[in-house]
Structure 1
Amino acid sequence: MSRVFNVAVVGCGIGRSHIVEGYLPNSGCFKVKAICDLSAERLAQIGDAFAVERRVEKFDDVLAMDDIDIVDICTPPGLHFPMVMAALKAGKHVICEKPLVGSLAQIDAVMEEEQRSKGMLMPVFQYRFGNGIEQAKRIIDAGIAGKPFMGTVETLWRRDAPYYAVPWRGKWATELGGVLMGHAIHPHDLFTYLMGDIERVFGRVATRVNPIEVEDTISASLLMKNGALASLTATLGSADDMTRIRLAFENVTFESDHAAYNPGDKLWKIQPRTDKTAQEIEKLLKDWQHVPSRFQTQMRRFHDALIGAGPLPVTSADSRRSLELVTALYHSAATNTDVPLPLGPSHPLYQSWVPEQFRAA
């Protein structure tokens, strides 16, 4: 019988989705034993809804629970770094929502602590999971797609004033960025997951939709290490919500389902350029087994990693690649320059991409 790991969910906003989509469908792998939130009302709502008896308001109380195996951090982004570090130092396994932390310096510190800790760390990139994204990944990894030519990523979502009524949103100190950090970060991760590492970034950012501190519209031009070209566009001023990823390879063109928050779920449009390629794809996918999307599969594969039955589905290195793109794009927009990757400690924004006037003293 598979081991059941005890979980404490910290932050009952997106944490509710982790429970509903991730832990309940994998009840033979996980049990939510505790929840933590600053709101007594939310603790009561979530605790009652999912029969979680242990409800606390202090994060330190979670770390002191000897029977908790996994700390699942679902708090506002500005709190992630100290919480992740404390949980790793306490020897807990850690799951943390995006963005994992708020700078390249912080992610490097987390990766160092991860090497010392008894616990494993899994950042959350739930869009990676589902039939559509996994079929595309399978075809690319099999070498059938051939040489990558170019790709486009469009993250066109709508966020109006009620969204920013939540006090921590729209502010550098607590959200750590805007559409680039909190929204397009998922489709951009899917893009690099399929197309590989980035060589150079040129980007622009603007605040055009809402009266907030952070950006809500961006565009970027990328050169990939494999020679492919790419463009990224995102705004929170769309009339509706749509995510579209289109990738042109030598032998195949892929286009994602346009679902904003689950582009990996439904089958993607796969267009082979020759009959031979079509036959290779058909053979590769003929015995395809359904892959549940989002948190259900990510949490299940995390369990596999914990028991030694598979690799971590998302790693801190994946988060670093994501945050490197963020850092480079902010720097490019501020300096009007083309930014080469990788970025190390000598980069001007290594310690923080948050504008100096918004940094904590």
Structure 2
Amino acid sequence: MSRRFKVGVIGCGIGRSHIVEGYVPHADKYEVTALCDLDETRLNTVADEFGVVRRTRFSDELMADPEIDIIDICTPPALHTKLVLQALQAGKHVVCEKPLTGSLSEVDEVRRAESGSKGLLMPIFQYRYGEGVAQAKRIIDSGLAGKPYAATAETFWRRTADYYDNPWRGRWSTELGGVLMTHAIHLHDMLTYLLGPIERVFARTDTRVNAIEVEDCVSASLLMKNGALASLTATLGAAEEISRLHLAFEHVTFESNHAAYSPGDGPWRITPASDEAGEKIRALIADNPPIGRRFNGQMEAFYAALVEGSQPPVTSEDARRALELVTAIYHSSETHSDVILPLSETHPKYNSWRP
């Protein structure tokens, strides 16, 4: 009989989505046995919905529970680092929402703790999961796509004053950033997942949509290590919400679907540059294995890693690359300069990208 891991979820906002999409569809693999939230009404509502008996306002109780195998952290961003470190020290496996930490120094601290813990750490980047992105990844990795030329990533979402009528949103101390951190980080991770690491960044950020501390508009120009050029644009003032990747390679062009919160889903528009390339691509993806979308796919892949004792499907190194891009964009916007990656501990924003 396969092992069933017991999960404690801290934070019942986005945590509910983890349960609905990630754990309930894999009831043979996971059992959510405890919930934690400061809001008792929300805590009890979600616990009642899924029949979870164990409920608490104190995360320490979950950390100390020897029956819990996995701590799933879905709190506001400023609490992530402390809870991840605590869970790793307790020997738990850890799932953590974005951003993993609030600085590059913190993510390096987490990675050191991870190396000495028996638990596996998996940051959440659910946009990597879906039929569309899986097909694109397979084509690129096979070499059939050829030389990468250029790409765009657009996060055009809408957030109004009502969204920021919340004690932690829109503030540097609690949300840690704006559209770049809380909204576009997933699509930017998908870009590097398909196109590889970044070499240089030039960017501008601004606050144009809402009366908040953090940015809600971003434009950035990237030079990838493979020579491709990419541009990132994000705003929280769009009338129509879309997330879109567009990638041009030597032998094929990819365009994601435009669903704001699930751009990895199929179908993607895959346009071969020739009939010959098209035939090879169609043959390659004809037997593409099915993959769950969003949290469903990521939690299924995490289970395989837990059982096999292998590397998680999304790693702390992936989270560091995402936060390195965030740091570079903020620094470039502030200094009006080109920023070369990777960023080391000597960089002026290594300990914090916040102003």
Q: What TM-score results when the alignment is normalised by the length of structure 2?
A: 0.99
Superimposed CA distance per residue, residues 71-104 of structure 1 (whole angstroms, 9 cap, x where no aligned partner): 0000000000000000000100000000000100
Superimposed CA distance per residue, residues 128-183 of structure 1 (whole angstroms, 9 cap, x where no aligned partner): 00100000000000000011001001100000011001210000000000000000
User: Displacement, 1:288?
Assistant: 2.6
1:64 maps to what in 2? 64
User: How far apart in 1 are the matches of 2:56 and 2:195?
Assistant: 42
Q: AA paired with 1:257?
A: N
Q: Does 1:83 align with 2:83?
A: yes
User: How far apart in 1 are the matches of 2:60 and 2:306?
Assistant: 24
User: Displacement, 1:312?
Assistant: 1.5
User: How far apart in 2 are the matches of 1:111 and 1:170?
Assistant: 28
1:308 maps to what in 2? 308
User: How far apart in 2 are the matches of 1:287 and 1:120?
Assistant: 31
1:234 maps to what in 2? 234
User: How far apart in 2 are the matches of 1:149 and 1:315?
Assistant: 27
1:247 maps to what in 2? 247
Superimposed CA distance per residue, residues 232-280 of structure 1 (whole angstroms, 9 cap, x where no aligned partner): 0000000021011000001110000000000001211000101111111
1:264 maps to what in 2? 264
Count of matched residue positions in the alignment of Structure 1 and Structure 2:
355
User: How far apart in 2 are the matches of 1:82 and 1:289?
Assistant: 38
User: How far apart in 1 are the matches of 2:192 and 2:288?
Assistant: 24
User: Displacement, 1:290?
Assistant: 2.5
Q: 1:309 to 1:106 in 2, by over 3 A?
A: closer
> Is the partner of 2:308 in helix, strand or coil?
coil
Structure 1 spans left out of the alignment, 5+ residues: 356-361
Q: Does 1:323 align with 2:323?
A: yes
Do the aligned residues in 1 keep the contact of 2:130 with 2:294 (CA within 8 Å)?
yes
Do the aligned residues in 2 keep the contact of 1:304 with 1:311 (CA within 8 Å)?
no
User: Displacement, 1:311?
Assistant: 4.1
Q: Does 1:180 align with 2:180?
A: yes
2:104 maps to what in 1? 104
User: How far apart in 1 are the matches of 2:195 and 2:352?
Assistant: 27
> Is the partner of 2:164 in helix, strand or coil?
helix
> Is the partner of 2:281 in helix, strand or coil?
helix
User: How far apart in 1 are the matches of 2:270 and 2:185?
Assistant: 24
Q: AA paired with 2:97?
A: E
Aligned Cα RMSD in Å? 0.8
Do the aligned residues in 2 keep the contact of 1:15 with 1:74 (CA within 8 Å)?
yes
User: Displacement, 1:289?
Assistant: 3.1
User: Displacement, 1:309?
Assistant: 7.1
User: How far apart in 2 are the matches of 1:238 and 1:141?
Assistant: 34
For structure 1, which segment, 19-28 or 306-315, has the greater mean C-alpha deviation from structure 2 after superposition? 306-315
Q: AA paired with 1:240?
A: E
2:203 maps to what in 1? 203
User: How far apart in 2 are the matches of 1:75 and 1:8?
Assistant: 13
Do the aligned residues in 2 keep the contact of 1:221 with 1:231 (CA within 8 Å)?
yes
Q: AA paired with 1:69?
A: D
Do the aligned residues in 1 keep the contact of 2:292 with 2:298 (CA within 8 Å)?
no
User: How far apart in 1 are the matches of 2:62 and 2:240?
Assistant: 39
Do the aligned residues in 2 keep the contact of 1:301 with 1:310 (CA within 8 Å)?
no
2:354 maps to what in 1? 354
User: How far apart in 1 are the matches of 2:343 and 2:37?
Assistant: 35
> Is the partner of 2:325 in helix, strand or coil?
helix
Q: AA paired with 2:159?
A: R
Superimposed CA distance per residue, residues 177-211 of structure 1 (whole angstroms, 9 cap, x where no aligned partner): 00000000010000000000000000000000000
Q: What TM-score results when the alignment is normalised by the length of structure 1?
A: 0.97
User: How far apart in 2 are the matches of 1:301 and 1:352?
Assistant: 32
Q: 1:117 to 1:311 in 2, by over 3 A?
A: closer
Name segments (4+ residues, structure 1) moved above 3 Å. Answer: none
> Is the partner of 2:343 in helix, strand or coil?
coil
Structure 2 spans left out of the alignment, 5+ residues: none
1:18 maps to what in 2? 18
User: Displacement, 1:121?
Assistant: 0.1
Q: AA paired with 2:113?
A: E
User: How far apart in 1 are the matches of 2:257 and 2:311?
Assistant: 27
User: How far apart in 2 are the matches of 1:71 and 1:301?
Assistant: 17
User: How far apart in 2 are the matches of 1:315 and 1:289?
Assistant: 22
2:6 maps to what in 1? 6
1:298 maps to what in 2? 298
Q: AA paired with 2:142?
A: A
